[in-house]
Amino acid sequence: MWRSRFLRGAGCLLHGTGCIPCKPSHFPPWRYLSFYQPCLNPVLQRSFRAPAWYCFENRLRPAVALYFCRTLRKDAKSIMDFPAQPLAVTDIKQYLRSKDIPFYDGYSCLHAPSIFMEPAPEGSGKENYSLFIDKTTGQFQCKETLVEGSWEDLQDCIEVMLNENQTSISPNVLLGFPESMEEQEEREMEMKEVQRIWSSSVPFSDLLDEEVQLIKIMFLIGKLTNATLKKFGVRFFKPTKSLVFPWFSGHDSGLRGVKLLSVAVKDDGQVVYTEATVPKISSYHNLFGLPLIGRKDGEVVLTGREIDSMAVSQATGLPSLALPRGVSCLPPILLPYLEQFKKVTLWLGGDMRSWEASKIFSRKLGLKRCSLIRPGDFQPCPSEALAQGRHLARIVKASIPAAHKSIVSFKQLREDVYGELANVEQVAGIQWSRFPELNRILKGHRKGELTVFTGPTGSGKTTFISEFALDLCMQGVNTLWGSFEINNVRLAKIMLTQFAKQRLEENLDQYDMWADKFEDLPLYFMTFHGQQNIKTVLDTMQHAVYLYDISHVIIDNLQFMMGQENLSVDKFAVQDHIIGAFRKFATNSCCHVTLIIHPRKEEDDKELQTASIFGTAKASQEADNVLILQEKKLVTCPGRRSLQVAKNRFDGDVGIFPLEFNKASLTFSAPVKGKQKLRKVKVDKNNSTEEIEETELKEKSEKAPKPAKAKTSKTVKGSAALKNTTDGEGNDQ
């Protein structure tokens, strides 16, 4: 029995994720990493003479092909493997006690002697508690042997060890699952590429002073000393004009990967910094600066960038580490490396997104030991603070505790209120790039909110919301899809078509290129399909938030979770319970939940309203945003669909704007042209009656010979329904 369970989990252990192994695909095509040779600002060209190796001629020119393989992302495929039942820390403790395994509580992990090493003699005082068990998921990791796996794997190992009357078990027992040829070749090529980049890169001590000065200006690190760069092992890779940040193993200080930071200047003069990692950041987790941490260090500063980590270390002398994925994710596999610290200060950046990430990460690390640095004019990110001559040690000392009491006074909230007033655009959330009109009304996508989305059957709700979510995912919003109506393969096909903005079935030669880019998105899918229990769905969502720091969950749709096991229970009461559960989850997990709900059956010539949402009024009451996809079924020309924001709790703005569906790319973000746009409301000052001027097509469908000055009662009723919709929309035409 245990052998079969080992085989099921071993593939996951090889990649350090909870996902099942991917199926081999056809022979891998050529693949290039995107690096570009930047062109300096003209001011810098006048101030410094560029060295011979630097080229100013082409602003964006591919510089080098880094490796020859097709990258398969293991933790972002369309399947996520979650435990059937949530694991409680009491269950873990009870099991360890029943097997006479000593342990003690850590901040986020249980510490136990490693069963993969021979135990130290009793009384020697050298017991090595190097086995870390995550209190939330049960995932284990041995820091000495680097063996890791699931809670079920650890149970199997313990049972085998005890049944054979052994004091330890070989770590190779979990490494017997054979790799496929493609996976083995990919891993070997990635490590060869890591060594090639590292050996080809140049330490700053070997560069000319003029070159070093120019590089520091390019990457805005003029205040970092050469000694600091040497201490952290930073080098310069000339072929791509990139800084090279090494990832060393905390176990044997071996090189495990590199991150390259490149700079480019666009045609409009905007400077853009891009990152690339080898191996891909999804397949390897590490902390920059880990080998510099001593065993007795009790305090650390966590930053979101390698440059920030070096700035903190240079200015304060405190141990400092950089998270591999910045503010987007704190992988639980890193928690054992942070267990030794009694105080963790999170200084992830100088914007509101970094501030939100700090509060979320502090929950994983343990609120009682975490302190946060609130962004502000006098507390920017560490590298900017160093460049401005700020006192970084004083900023770290003034950090605020992450743990809050249940009751607070305005004095404690004063700085938070000021932060929201001073950073209005950042507080509004992440902007959509494909839907500028949505930015104008909703202002942005914010964490902790509940959005209810509805529309007529067959109007394209799933297609629209997939592009809606894809837009955010492309900007780094970690997204989890729960599609109960259509399967994941079909949904992924829709999103990939929207991502490429073309029919890939007609351009199969481009499939691998677009699929490789699509794999890099922080996008995950639940494996549920059809009727599901709400508790199972919520447990899966909570698990995903912990593992992948999911910040946006889409549920399509609510009706598939109402179930049929309790036919005697009022269906409206069941729906209210589900909506309340999602509302609570969004608030407690600081995660945005988009919930698709079918509307009541309405006549084809009537537009939907908030009251058209199926069920009671609880859905619209609990929601922070209500979006309605309107469709004129009697109209067949472009402009028949529009998106109405019927509720916006953030600032109260509501409105409506037209959508044009592009069947080739399955997108709604194409601009609407000509007369098909909705026209603004005209107000008659004499009788204060609002008049809506409809399009010519609708007038023909209503068989109106010519426009009348006084609307019929039916039209006036429709205009009243759109009163808030059209206020202040003079720019929509």
pLDDT tens-digit series, residues 135-155: 999 999 998 888 888 899 899
**Are 610 and 724 a contacting pair, CB within 8 Å?**
no
How many other CB atoms are found less than 10 A from the CB of residue 81?
Answer: 13
Query: Which pLDDT value is given to residue 170?
Result: 85
CA distance 337 to 248: 13
Helix count and strand count (H, E) for the chain: 23, 26
**Which stretches of the chain score pLDDT less than 50?**
1-81, 672-733
Sign of torsion over alpha carbons 663, 514, 518, 80: positive
Nearest alpha carbon to residue 73 among 516, 448, 467, 486: 516
How many other CB atoms are found less than 10 A from the CB of residue 496?
Answer: 17
Domains and their CATH numbers in the chain:
89-164 (no CATH), 181-284 (no CATH), 291-428 (3.40.1360.10), 436-669 (3.40.50.300)
**Are 168 and 161 a contacting pair, CB within 8 Å?**
yes
Give start and end residues of each alpha helix (H) in 299-398: 306-316, 352-365, 382-387, 392-397
**Are 625 and 585 a contacting pair, CB within 8 Å?**
no
Query: Which pLDDT value is given to residue 696?
Result: 42
The HSE-up count of residue 270 (CA atoms within 13 Å, CB side) is: 5
Structure tokens at 580: 């309340």
Query: Which pLDDT value is given to residue 286?
Result: 80
For residue 34, how far is the Cα from the chain centroid?
A: 21
CA distance 384 to 125: 46
CA distance 311 to 298: 19
Structure tokens at 480: 């989890």
Q: Which helix (H) or strand (E) holds 645?
A: strand 641-648
What angle in degrees, to the nearest 10, is found between the helix axes of 151-163 and 2-15? 130
Q: Tell how strand 235-237 and strand 202-203 pair up.
A: antiparallel
Query: Which pLDDT value is given to residue 711?
Result: 41
Helix (H, G, I), strand (E, B) or coil at 626: strand
Residue 30 corresponds to which amino acid?
W
Q: Tell how strand 689-692 and strand 681-684 pair up.
A: antiparallel
Give 138's DSSP letter. -
Q: Which helix (H) or strand (E) holds 118?
A: none
Residue 564 corresponds to which amino acid?
Q
Query: Which pLDDT value is given to residue 674?
Result: 44
At residue 647, what are phi and psi to the nearest 5 degrees? Answer: -150, 135
At residue 353, what are phi and psi to the nearest 5 degrees? Answer: -65, -40
